[in-house]
């Protein structure tokens, strides 16, 4: 099972076994990872699932769709490595992906 590692702004790490085909957001919500509210339930319409993807993983992800790009403009403090975690689908190629939750959301 691929792992997803969530890092809080204070540096706490949560390592979660994620089923392939689920999203980084869904695994955060199911496991009560703080700071990922996912108010729209994964419809790419709220930006409350915003995360910073560790640089080692950014190139392994598909480019964001236009809708995700647009919604990231509404995220708190977006950076070049910002993504919406509801749009990141877990699979074996990204086993160990590490994402940091923005301070403003935690």
Among 33, 51, 72, 86, binds ligand FES (CB under 6 A): 86
Task: Give strand pairing partners of 13.
Answer: 7
**Closest approach of ligand FES to the CB of residue 68, in Å:** 8
Q: Which two tokens stand for residue 83?
A: 């993504």
Q: How far is CA 41 from the centre of its chain?
A: 13
CA distance 41 to 106: 18
Q: Does 46 bind ligand FES (CB under 6 A)?
A: yes
Q: Please give the residue whose beta carbon sits closest to ligand FES in the complex.
A: 86
Q: Does 49 bind ligand FES (CB under 6 A)?
A: yes
Closest by Cα among 97, 101, 93 to 58: 97
Closest by Cα among 60, 57, 87, 55 to 71: 87
Q: Does 89 bind ligand FES (CB under 6 A)?
A: no
Total number of residues that touch ligand FES (CB under 6 A): 15
Task: Write out the binding residues for ligand FES, residues 3-42 only, by CB under 6 A.
Answer: 25, 38-40, 42
């Amino acid at each position: 099972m691929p792992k997803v590692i969530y890092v809080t702004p204070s540096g706490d790490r949560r390592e979660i076994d994620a089923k392939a085909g689920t999203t980084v957001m869904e695994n955060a919500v199911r496991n009560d990872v703080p700071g990922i509210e996912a108010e729209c339930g994964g419809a790419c319409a709220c930006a409350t699932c915003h995360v910073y993807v560790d640089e080692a993983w950014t190139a392994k992800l598909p480019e964001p769709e236009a809708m995700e790009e647009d919604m990231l403009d509404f995220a708190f403090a977006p950076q070049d490595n910002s993504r919406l975690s509801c749009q990141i689908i877990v699979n074996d190629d990204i086993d160990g992906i590490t994402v940091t939750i923005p301070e403003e959301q935690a």
